[in-house]
Every structure is written in structure tokens, then in C-alpha cells.
Amino acid sequence: MKIVIVGGVAGGATAAARIRRLDEQAEVVVFERSGYVSYANCGLPYYIGGVIESAGELTLQTPEGFQSRFRVDIRVRHEVTALHPDRKTVSVRNLVTGEEFEESYDKLLLSPGAKPTQPPLPGVERDRVFTLRTVEDTLRIREFVTGCHPRSVILAGGGFISLETAENLRELGMDVTIVQRPRQLMNPFDPEMAAFIHAKLRERGIKLLLGRSVEGFEGEGDAVRVLLRGEEPLTADMVVLAIGVTPDTDLAQKAGLELGIRGSIVVNQRMETSVPDIYAVGDAVQVKHFVTGKETLLSLAGPANKQGRIAADSICGKESHFTGSQGSSVVKVFDMTAAATGVNEQAARSAGIECDKVYLSPANHAGYYPGGRVMTVKVLFERETYRLLGAQIVGYEGVDKRIDVLATAIRAGLTALDLAELDLAYAPPYSSAKDPVNMAGFMIENLAEGLVRQFHWDEADALPRDGSVTLLDVRTDQEYGSGHMEGFLHIPVDALRERLEELERGKPVYLVCQSGLRSYIACRILTQEGFDCRHLAGGYRLYESAILDRAAAEQTFPCGMNRV
């Protein structure tokens, strides 16, 4: 059996190695148009910033290494220019010699990946306008940065690559600005969680121009003018386009394969396309979202590797199925870590799922052990069934551990209530006896049992200030004095029992504390005294972060907050 693989990196290279492990006699040929068959795509920004010092460290496997260990014929700088399913061949061009030829196959695997989204903007071809997707892109940017010593850069787009590149260039001392059309960075996160990421970037000196549209580029001596719709242009020494990626499926389209979202290749669970004996994997394919069951695109290395393995199994006659991706991801933002899995609130509602959520702000380990730092956790679940839908965490140490536990719980079909029962490792340097994941389960259990009701940060400013409800802040005097919401009476939780006569019975009570814990305790006190209570999920800390972020984007100060 002869297998031809178009494209290497995560999906193609994984499939090639897996095929050899399953079938020692198969003939395997890989065509890769770049000069690198298997490289650490996610590490590219860190080479630009010098964190990864040698370009060779980006290369996970060389053509020679593949040949030596797996006896796979790797042909880099060879571009497949056409597919011919009727005669089971592909047309290939040697990019070094210009030679063109046809290669036959019994099975064909497409792993073309995705290409940087490049809208047809005037001036996009200019020398100082870069994209970042391949090793060659990285080498060009690194050479420019080290040779020309640019002092400023504008990044168009706000996803993973953009944030990582922004951090690395900022660490080199450059003036960094991120511009994008959406009003928040990092789509996997809901706005109030993305606010913590925005704050960290601003703290480190990165300028955010959100809700702005780039319309083109012009030269200005040794600089680039970035044209913005309806605003004055920006000027920088270089520009990096990180607007996103588009499935690279021209070959599939011309060969008549069925296409799906944004021109992606439609595959089944065995990674088979609509044409017999042709398989496809990676960023070019449409997959089912594990949580919603809807078709989606997810450009992540983990799913691409799994798909490569499954395609290899299918080609070699094994029963293996890709059951969908839930988009688990993590990103470093200077000393901060942000991670997500499943769907966010917006995606859940778009899918027609009635969802609820809890927020908590625990330390990453036991409070009495030195060095603990707060993380913010958001867990989403379906209202009636308590099915886990997704989670987002922003913090420092321990974020990746918790998101992996929650991702596993979603994959295993656990409910949000089951989180309370998970038996997780504990020692003071690593966690608390009640791990943050367990705590999320306890909080959801309280909601399910009716022990507490919530209201949310984006509802707080709309609460009536006409005396028809009681607004109560139960934080300390110092906390209240450093900033509070307009119209909230202040009674610290520890004094609440002695000051109940100050609250008018018969009125609904809306409570707030710093993170939601003390307002929950206050709710329990008042509920048992006959009051109708709700508390602010996530507390004033979450509210303040979200409101200040909104104000920073609009360059106005929030009128609903009294700052001292």
C-alpha cells in the first residue's frame, strides 16, 4: 500500500509515524512545501523574542530523522499543485528545481493546515508587513528584529499568536500596539474574563485599540502607516498580521471534495472525506464541537495530532474515531496564565443552550503557605441538567492544572454537581483541602438546592436606586472606602447580625462583597431571618475589572463607581 501525505507539521507528521508503526511494509511519501516537515508552530513567537535561542530547537523532526527512524520518504520544498482522484495521483512541483511530476497513491491524506487570513488591504505586500505562521515567517521576523532594531510594532488581531508575539516583542523593549475590530481579545473568553487579560497587557505597557478596523498600509520612510477606518492613522517600524487563519483548501475545492464552514474540508469521524481513499486532518477540516455537537473550526495542535493518529488508524484498517474537540487551550500573558475549555457563555447561548454560571476567586494553594496568588474561575453549566459546558480561568500558578481537570470532567460526561465529589491531590504548596474545582462544585450545589441566588456584574448598574430594593455592601471599611458601587449601604458581614434593624424587611436585598464568599455568608444570615436575598456572583472584584476594562476601551471613566 502506498500512502501520499500532503503537508507535515502536527497532523501529517503524526500520521506518517503512526502509519509506519502499524504497517512496516507501507510506502509512505510526505510532500511539504516549506523547508520543515515537523516543527513547533506554537513556539514560533518565543524564538522571535529570544526565549528559544536556537532555530533548530523549533524543529521536532527532520527529513533525515524521519527516514532513519521510520523509513518515510519526506520531500520538503515540494508543493502539491493538484489532486486527481479519478486516476489516484497528485501533481507535484519541486520548488528548488522547478521539476513537475505526478505521484500515484492508494490512500491520500491531506494535511494542508491553514494560512494566515490576509484581507485584500492596500499595501499588505509591503516589506515591513509580516505574517507569522511558518518557520520561514519566524526567521524573517527574527532577522528583521535583530538586524534593523525596530522600536515599535503594530499587531493586527488579538488571538493566541498575537498575544504571544506582543509579549515577546515587548520584552525586547519595543513599543507594542494591538489593533483589532472585535472589542475584546481572545475569543474563547467571555468579556469579563478577557478584562483581566486586557489589564495585564496594559499594565505591561501594551496599548490596546479595540473596536478599530484596519483599512490598509502605506510607506512612510522606514516606517509603516496603518490606516484605520474613521480615525487618524498609526505609524510603526513594523506590522505583524495576526488576524486569524483560513483553512488552506484550494486543492480540495478544485478536486471536488465536499467543503464546509469557511471552505473547510468535510470529514467523518474516521477522517474520511467525501471522496473515497482521501482523508484530511488538522486546521483544514471541519469538526464537531464536543459540547454543542455543532460543526466548527478549531485551529489547535492537540486535535490535529489526534486526527493524524486516527486517520492513520483508518488507513491501516483499524476502527478509530474522532469524537470531537472541546477547544481546550492555555496562553501565557507575561507572568499570568489564561486557559479555557468547552464553550463560553456567548457560544452556549448561540447554540440555544440555557446556561448558568458561577465565579470564584480562590488562591492557587493553601492560604497559610507563602506565595499564594488569586485566580478567577468561571464555570458554565446547563440550567436544568447541570451538564458541564465550559470553564475559563485567569490567574498564575495552578491555572493549567484546574482547566485540565475541568476539561477531563467535560469529556467524561460529569455534571457540574459531580465536581464537588472529585478526589484531587492536596498539599499546602499545591492546593487547598477544598480545591478550587471542588469549590465550584459546592457553589453550584448551593444554587441547585436553593441555598443562594445570584445576580451578575452586567446587571448591577441597572438595579433600582429608588429605595424599592436594599443594596448592601458587606466588605470591610477599608475595602468599601477604596471603591464601591453607587447607592450601596455599607454593613460589614461580621456586624450584620447586630445591625439587622437597619434593613427594611419586605424589600429584596442585593448583596456584594469582594469575591462572592462573604456576600454568600450574608445571604445565608439574611435568608434565615426572612429576607429575600441575592448576591453578586464574582463580587466587586469581577465587577470592577469588567467595568474599568469597558471604560478603558471607551476612554471614559465609569460613572457608576465612586473612586476615592
pLDDT tens across the length of the chain (564 residues): 999 999 987 899 899 999 999 999 999 999 999 887 766 677 888 889 989 888 777 766 677 777 788 899 999 999 999 999 999 999 999 999 999 999 999 999 999 988 877 778 899 888 899 988 888 888 899 999 999 999 999 999 999 999 999 999 999 999 999 999 999 999 999 999 999 999 999 999 999 999 999 999 998 888 999 999 999 999 999 999 988 788 999 999 999 999 999 999 999 999 999 999 999 999 999 999 999 999 999 888 889 999 999 999 999 999 999 999 999 999 999 999 999 999 999 999 999 999 999 999 999 999 899 999 999 999 999 999 999 999 999 999 999 999 999 999 999 999 999 999 999 999 999 999 999 999 999 999 999 999 999 999 999 999 999 999 999 999 999 999 999 999 999 999 999 999 999 999 999 999 999 999 999 999 999 999 999 999 999 999 999 999 999 888 876 334 344 433
Give residue 561's pLDDT.
43
Average pLDDT over all residues of the chain: 93
- DSSP sequence for 147-202: HH--SEEEEE--SHHHHHHHHHHHHTT-EEEEEESSSSS-TTS-HHHHHHHHHHHH
Torsion sign, CA atoms 520, 526, 529, 531: negative
- Asked whether the beta carbons of 147 and 171 are under 8 A apart, the reply is no
SS (H, E, C) 199-249: HHHHHCCCEEEECCCEEEEEEECCEEEEEECCEEEEEECEEEECCCEEECC
Q: Which residues are catalytic?
A: 42
Give residue 60's pLDDT.
63
- Asked whether the beta carbons of 15 and 23 are under 8 A apart, the reply is no
By CB atoms closer than 10 A (0-12, 13-18, 19+), residue 123 is middle
- Read off the pTM: 0.93
* DSSP helix, strand, coil percent of the chain (3-state; round to 5): 35, 30, 40
CA distance 180 to 168: 19
Q: Which three cell numbers stand for residue 152?
A: 515599535
Q: Which three cell numbers stand for residue 563?
A: 473612586
Give residue 40's pLDDT.
66
DSSP state of 537: T
CA distance 333 to 425: 27
